[in-house]
Structure 1
Amino acid sequence: MQTTTSRLGLATDAARRWSRIARYFNRSSDGVAAVEFALLGAPFFLIIFMILETACIFIGDITLEQATARAGRTVRTGQVATLNQSEADFRKNLCGNILVLLNCDNVRIDLRSYSSFSSIPTDAPIASGRLQSGEFQFERGNPGQIMALRVFYEYPLYTDIVDRFLSDLDDNKHLLMSVAVFQTEPF
């Protein structure tokens, strides 16, 4: 009988000890912030960087769209043809509308005339993960011609997880593409 009582006493003592240890850890908050930061800090900052990078891509796309629309207007109204602008002059005009976010050296321009609106390509010229800019042209246009100004920018991605979902080119780059289609005015 005494052995059962002593065993019961030992079990009760062990339960009391574990209860005291559990109460100590419940009251003690030393290092809790460090553990929580270690668990939640990396995913939190990854999400923040993903949001920032996606926002930069969006702003870059809007900037490229606005610059293309403004440069396309100079072609549509005949300013490029009547002033006999070179591709370098046209690029300078286009890049004057691109402020800080995009590097003008990475902008690719394709300006040419088409026989009909339906013959204008709608897909980006990408092959094997690269932008095929070798066949791009620069035509100033004549009065009444159907023209398409296509502007491309290879935007570099920096966040590892974002590049898996947004990169459509090699070297972790996302292609920004802007198109202005119009018929030139009788200038």
Structure 2
Amino acid sequence: MVRASSRRKLVYAALHDTRGATAVEFALLAFPFFGLIAAILQTSLVFISSQVLESAVIDASRYVRIGEARKQSTDEYKKRICDRLYGLFGDCQDMHLRVDTIQTFKSTAPTIPVDITCPAECDWTTPETWAPGGASSVVMVQAYFRYPVPIPLGPLSIANLADGTRLIGSTFVFMNEPF
């Protein structure tokens, strides 16, 4: 029979034993910590991809601005954009491109080419256009991609479409040179 004082010593030793405390603390904090790191990396990747798309559209629009694009097709212009994306967007056939001539800078009205309330993967809702305009025309270039979100974070996800992707777009408005 174990005496009461011995029992107290065993309970006291068990309650004050700290040999596994670090492992338990790590187990409790590891999931939120690595989740936060994954969210930061994913958000950074989406933001840098958005900036790369913006730069690619601006760079490729130089050919529209100087009149060279009138000799090109939509596919050639898409290739100019895709050559500047550094592989961040996968297949460039998934890009939705609209090049429109507009009346003035004030009449700029970019449109989102997909229904964001669509419950599943949906097609583009507006057709692609190719109207690079003539000399001194005001031109609006819009390029959109459905960007895959690699780490779904449930209600905290950065996906803004129902199919789990994020719509990333770039709009650039400029006046053609008097070529």
Q: Residue 43 of structure 1 aligns to a residue in which SS?
A: helix
Q: Residue 175 of structure 1 aligns to a residue in which SS?
A: strand
1:26 to 16, 20, 24: 16
Deviation at 1:17, TM superposition (A): 3.1
Partner of 1:171: 163
RMSD over aligned Cα atoms = 2.2
Worse-matched range after superposition: 152-161 or 60-69: 152-161
2:7 to 4, 17, 26: 17
Worse-matched range after superposition: 52-61 or 129-138: 129-138
AA of the residue aligned to 1:63? V
1:75 and 1:117 map into 2 onto residues whose CA distance is 16
Partner of 1:105: 93
Do the aligned partners of 1:75 and 1:140 also contact (CA within 8 Å) in 2? yes
Q: Where do residues 106-185 of structure 1 align in structure 2 (5 Å cutoff)?
A: 106-127=94-115, 128-129=117-118, 130=122, 132-161=124-153, 164-185=156-177
2:141 and 2:29 map into 1 onto residues whose CA distance is 47
Deviations along 1:13-62, one digit per CA (max 9) or x if unpaired, are 36x63354233442440x33432232112111111110110010011011
Structure of larger gyration radius: 1
1:34 and 1:105 map into 2 onto residues whose CA distance is 49
Aligned pair 1:92/2:108, yes or no?
Answer: no
Taking a change above 3 Å as real, the CA distance of residues 153 and 140 of structure 1, as seen in their structure-2 partners, is same
Deviation at 1:162, TM superposition (A): 6.3
1:107 and 1:58 map into 2 onto residues whose CA distance is 18
- Output the TM-score relative to the length of structure 1: 0.81
Aligned pair 1:42/2:31, yes or no?
Answer: yes
Query: Which consecutive residues of structure 1, in runs of 5 or more, have no partner in the other structure?
Result: 1-9
Taking a change above 3 Å as real, the CA distance of residues 137 and 145 of structure 1, as seen in their structure-2 partners, is same
Do the aligned partners of 1:152 and 1:176 also contact (CA within 8 Å) in 2? yes
Do the aligned partners of 2:100 and 2:141 also contact (CA within 8 Å) in 1? yes
Taking a change above 3 Å as real, the CA distance of residues 133 and 126 of structure 1, as seen in their structure-2 partners, is closer
- Which is helix-richer, 1 or 2? 1
Q: Percent identity?
A: 27
Query: Which consecutive residues of structure 2, in runs of 5 or more, have no partner in the other structure?
Result: none
Do the aligned partners of 2:147 and 2:167 also contact (CA within 8 Å) in 1? yes
- Output the TM-score relative to the length of structure 2: 0.84
